[in-house]
């Protein structure tokens, strides 16, 4: 029997459209079509309902009536004061130049009439798990790349080759929308590198198909920054050499790029410009670490704001512990991250002999890290991280054989934890 010809590789990148904002609009359909930004802090729905009941006592407000809340109840961006940043924005707000990671005060100048909603990560994670389960039911080779995006290998899935992958992409889009009311954009290409670029071509709700022969017409005219892996500094250096588009990058010799950008990165730039990417879609990718952090609305001081900082510190440790437990991991390296009022950031970590996912153990060890940093300056950001992760079952088996007491600190760090800097808000 002759060998069956190998199917052409078809890889999809699926990106949910304005995911956080779209989830919020499911709860608040009265805000559809209006400029809305998400960010500036966290608030539970129960807290909002309590405020609504106080300000609008003429009726009883419940979580079933979120879609009936008057639009004029929601805060307006022009009234915001603080240093928060935008997590995402609706497309109506983006038309004014408002975008993710932009400071709220700057956004208020661009679109003062935008409505402001706090972030609700629990709700976003719930919808994230739902749309990923739907994808796996259709196409089982999926790589999770975050709360709102995935890569999918269409190559051997029924419908994955039809119309270059468009038929399967339409099925996935429809399945997600029918089950959740959310839209997504999908790019299908020979590899992950081009698929990610393609998913941006027709947002929102678009499907973009790129074949190998489309490289020069669809990819080369794009700016180099569209390549996932070309950051602002690399792009600035490329522009200094007169290279602005991917096509101009492709016209440079590999040796020239290696000479100016280093052996590894220069060779990668050449391959990327020519659309070469052999990375597989990885279905199981163990996380290296898990972390939680928060930026304060105002700078906080370790002594004068001790109670507030202590509460935030505890909450971050509990959130990281919950993330670890939900995903079945434990970690040995506990770390903290601080950003001061002068924007300088510092990190410290400490390694345990016994991996943990216990909130109390994480807080105790992170507290030891606080003793090794300067807490005399005011703080604008605080974060907690757990690294050196292993699956909980694997760790339990290893530790059972070694009989190491839970939470024991390794000798190398036991001495370093006895620093002179006072642990002010732990």
Residues catalogued as catalytic: 149
**Token pair for residue 138?**
């259709």
**Token pair for residue 95?**
């038309």
- Rounded Cα distance between 129 and 141, Å, is 16
Cis upstream peptide for 204 (omega within 30°): yes
**Token pair for residue 144?**
């999770």
Please tell me the total number of residues recorded for the chain in this structure.
Answer: 426
CA torsion sign for 125, 129, 130, 132 is positive
User: Helices 254-261 and 232-240, interaxial angle, to 10°?
Assistant: 120
- For residue 219, the SS3 value is helix
Cα distances (Å, whole numbers) of residue 105 to 74, 86, 99, 344, 369: 17, 10, 12, 21, 33
- Rounded Cα distance between 289 and 397, Å, is 21
């Amino acid at each position: 029997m002759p060998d069956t010809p190998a199917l052409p590789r078809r890889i999809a990148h699926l990106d949910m459209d304005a995911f956080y904002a779209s989830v919020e609009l499911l709860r608040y359909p009265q805000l559809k079509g209006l400029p809305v930004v998400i960010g500036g802090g966290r608030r539970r729905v129960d807290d909002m309902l309590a405020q609504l009941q106080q300000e609008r006592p003429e009726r009883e407000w419940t979580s079933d009536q979120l879609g009936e809340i008057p639009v004029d109840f929601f805060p307006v961006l022009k009234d915001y004061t603080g240093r928060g940043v935008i997590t995402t924005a609706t497309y109506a707000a983006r038309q004014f130049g408002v975008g993710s990671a932009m400071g709220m005060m700057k956004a208020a100048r661009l679109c003062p009439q935008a409505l402001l909603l706090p972030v609700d990560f629990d709700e976003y994670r719930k919808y994230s798990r739902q749309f990923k389960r739907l994808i796996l039911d259709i196409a089982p080779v999926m790589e999770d790349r975050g709360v709102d995006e995935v890569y999918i290998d269409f190559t051997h899935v029924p419908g994955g080759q039809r119309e270059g992958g468009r038929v399967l992409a339409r099925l996935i889009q429809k399945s997600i929308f029918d089950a959740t009311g959310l839209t997504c954009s999908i790019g299908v290409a020979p590899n992950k590198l081009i698929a990610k670029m393609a998913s941006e071509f027709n947002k929102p709700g678009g499907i973009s198909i790129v074949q190998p022969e489309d490289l020069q017409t669809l990819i080369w005219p794009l700016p180099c920054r569209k390549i996932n892996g070309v950051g602002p500094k690399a792009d600035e250096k490329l522009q200094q050499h007169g290279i602005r588009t991917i096509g101009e990058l492709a016209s440079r010799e590999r040796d020239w790029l290696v000479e100016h950008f280093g052996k590894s990165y220069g060779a990668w730039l050449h391959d990327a410009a020519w659309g070469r990417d052999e990375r597989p879609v990885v279905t199981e990718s163990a996380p290296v670490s898990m972390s939680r952090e928060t930026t304060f609305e105002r700078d906080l001081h370790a002594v004068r704001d001790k109670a507030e900082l202590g509460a935030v510190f505890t909450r971050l440790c509990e959130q990281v512990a919950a993330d670890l437990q939900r995903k079945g991991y434990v970690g040995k390296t506990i770390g903290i991250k601080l950003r001061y009022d002068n924007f300088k950031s510092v990190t410290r970590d400490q390694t345990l002999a016994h991996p943990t996912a216990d909130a109390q153990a994480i807080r105790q060890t992170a507290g030891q890290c606080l003793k090794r940093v300067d807490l005399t300056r005011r703080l604008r950001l605080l974060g907690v991280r757990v690294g050196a992760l292993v699956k909980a079952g694997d760790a339990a088996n290893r530790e059972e054989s070694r009989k190491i007491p839970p939470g024991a600190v390794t000798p190398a760090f036991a001495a370093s934890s006895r620093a002179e800097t006072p642990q002010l808000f732990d």
